[in-house]
Structure 1
Amino acid sequence: MTSASEPVVALLGTGTMGLGMAGNIAAAGLRLRVWNRSVERAEPLRDVATIARTAQEAVAGADIVVTMLYDADSVLEVVGGLDLGDAVWLQTSTVGVEGSDRIVAFAERAGVALVDAPVLGTRKPAEDGALVVLASGEEALRQRVAPVLDAIGSRTMWVGAAGAGSRLKLAANAWVLTVLEGVAESLALTRELGLDPRLFLEAVGGGALDAPYVQVKGGAMLDGSFDPSFALSGAAKDASLIAAAAAGVDLELALMPGILAHLQRAVDAGHGDADMAATYLEH
């Protein structure tokens, strides 16, 4: 049972990540409205949230507006036409440096209180409320967004002024993609050297070179299990954002250009909607 004192939360974007986040916001007892361009993707939430017909209907009178959309262009396309009133805008999409700068500038012009808070995790952590939130924004906003952050995440890091969260997210995603492609290449090399590629996972298993992610993604690659926890097309988009951020500060990255090229090749081969582990198919 909710009460009038509990914040009203509007969540825009109920895709792979947003759906799980919305479920946990509702499970925390917060009053929730959701909107998605394709309304059928919001249908699983019908028993726990109000499904709005328009984005403006979702945000009208809300205390917190959460965006979990594909990129900065889609975020600004949706939010740019809305009246957010006195709501705090909790922006959780991965938008890169240039994108976050545009979002921060828009929020300042519009007089909207913004918390830039991309998340670490894929579908399962989103469903489990176990995301790591990289939050950035004015300290005065922390308590206002705390009920949502507590619902969607296992941990929140506050890392500076709005935009800092998006910058740290790129660094974290650079590591994720490095591990992803490293596992795919090691499995392919083991295979092409005439061995069972599972021997690689066994060799590193349980040691200093192992990590849960190595075994989970490596196993998915070898099993052909590509139900998307995070789509390969999204991984390629994030790799592009990382490369652009590095170029913007004249930092030469040795690995990311090759990773980006390989992910894009897999997308071009028709695997974009599959899990990013499907990069192995092009090795």
Structure 2
Amino acid sequence: MSDSHETDTVRAVAVLGAGGTMGRGIARNAAVAELPVHAWNRTPAKLGDLAEENGIETFATAREAVVDADLVVTMLSDAEATLAAMSGPDGGAAGSEGAIWVQMGTIGVAGSERCAALARDRGLLYIDAPVLGTKVPAEEGTLIVLASGPEGSRERLEPFFDAVGRRTIWLGEAGQGSRLKVVVNSWICAVTEGTAEMFRLARALGLEPHLVLDAIEDGPLEAPYMRMKGEMMLKGDYTPSFRLALGAKDAALAVAAGAEAGAEIPMIEAIATQMAAVAAAYPDEDLAALFRGTADA
């Protein structure tokens, strides 16, 4: 059991999901910052060579990983995976009473509320801190952390957040981070699907799609994210930095949050439907694979 609420030194950071695209970079950067890391993954083989790196120790169960860890970080694909990692006799919550639970995955508004309830039941301080950024920012430690939770925890978490991100935005009570993440991701989905449809329309009208990017270059319509995904589409390069299956999941989270809050978001609803259809055919390709549409599925 940890008494992290009352001490200033972080003895260890448990990273649950350390073998994933995002978790691996988070674990490595925490270790580089000289924060001892306890790593666990649902599929142990995905931990790879992390055990051979300085400052990282791997564990067979989440419960073993959180022992003596003051911060328990979850970076998993969805709310169900996160709750499964923290629940049960071998789950993280079973061995981390008194620690700070830093939830960093994209799990939606309702998912964050479920995690907060579990944290209260198990005596954990809950920090909702999803991130903006994909594989490369995670590897480089340049994520944007959307942190929310008790103000008194900020100073204690600063060394960890500084290790994994280039900026931390504090948003108030726990859960606000996931709200902002859902909103930002709805924009990401809209931009990417909009770019894909723009190119398909250009091609159907007998235009080379690259002419669109040429037309808006260096002008007020330029958007770096659109250009990045657009260039991937034009090259046919769908190497995943953000898997389409996860993007479709995030679009669905936005729809669910909007429905619960009474927001009128018909475009996001339509985009979520389209993304789900394309993701069914190309789940492990990058979000840019939306350019393929359903005709080739």
With the shorter chain as reference, the TM-score category is over 0.9
Q: CA deviation at 1:254?
A: 2.5
**Counterpart Cα distance in 2 of 1:135 and 1:212:** 25
Amino acid at match of 1:61: D
Aligned residues: 278
Tell me how far apart the structure 2 counterparts of residues 127 and 259 of structure 1 sit (CA, whole Å).
29
Question: Which position in structure 1 is the counterpart of 2:112?
Answer: 100
Alignment partner of 1:31 is 2:36:
yes
Deviation at 1:6, TM superposition (A): 4.8
Match of 2:265 in 1: 253
- Structure 1 counterpart of 2:64: 57
The yes-or-no answer on 1:157 pairing with 2:169 is yes
Correspondent of 1:209 among 210, 217, 221: 221
The answer to whether the 8 A contact 1:88-1:145 is kept is no
Which stretch has the larger CA shift, 6-15 or 89-98?
A: 6-15
**Residue 66 of structure 1 pairs with residue 69 of structure 2:** no
Q: 1:136 — aligned with what?
A: 148
SS at match of 1:214: helix
Q: Which amino acid aligns with 2:34?
A: G
Q: Deviations over 1:237-269 (max 9, x none)?
A: 000010000000111102111111111111122
Deviations 1:102-144 (CA, angstroms, capped at 9, x unpaired): 1111111221111100001111111111111100000111122
Where 1:10 maps in the other structure, the secondary structure is: strand
Give unmatched runs, 5+ long, in structure 2: 1-8, 89-93
Does the Cα contact within 8 Å between 1:56 and 1:83 map onto a contact in 2? Answer: yes
- For 1:30 and 1:63, locate their aligned partners in 2 and report how far apart those are by CA, in whole Å: 11
Cα distance in 1 for partners of 2:143, 2:38 equals 21
The two structures, once aligned, show a CA RMSD in angstroms of 1.2
In the alignment, is the contact (CA less than 8 A) between 1:68 and 1:91 conserved in 2? Answer: yes
Is contact 2:137–2:143 with CA below 8 Å preserved after alignment? Answer: yes
How far apart in 1 are the matches of 2:201 and 2:49?
42
Equivalent in the alignment of 1:40? 45
The answer to whether the aligner puts 1:223 opposite 2:223 as a matched pair is no
- Determine helix, strand or coil for the equivalent of 2:39: strand
Distance 1:245 1:44 in 2: 38
Deviation at 1:83, TM superposition (A): 2.0
Q: What corresponds to 2:3 in structure 1? A: none
* Residue 41 of structure 1, CA deviation: 1.3
SS of 1:133 mapped into structure 2: strand
- SS at the partner of 1:245? helix
Residue matched to 2:210: 198
Q: Find the residue that maps to 2:109 and give its secondary structure.
A: helix
Kindly, what percent of the aligned residue pairs are identical?
A: 45
Q: Distance in 2 between matches of 1:226 and 1:45?
A: 27
Aligned-partner residue type, residue 156 of structure 1: T
2:280 corresponds to 1:273:
no
1:86-108 Cα deviation digits (max 9, x unpaired): 22110001111111111111111
Q: Which residue does 2:196 correspond to in 1? A: 184
Do the aligned residues in 2 keep the contact of 1:90 with 1:145 (CA within 8 Å)?
no
Partner of 2:125: 113
TM-score, normalised to structure 2, is 0.91
Runs of at least 4 residues off by over 4 Å: none
- The one-letter code of the counterpart of 1:70 is S
Asked if the contact 1:24–1:129 (Cα under 8 Å) also holds between the matched residues in 2, the reply is: yes
CA contact (8 A) 1:60 1:85 kept: no
Distance 1:105 1:116 in 2: 12
| Counterpart residue type for residue 14 of structure 2 | A
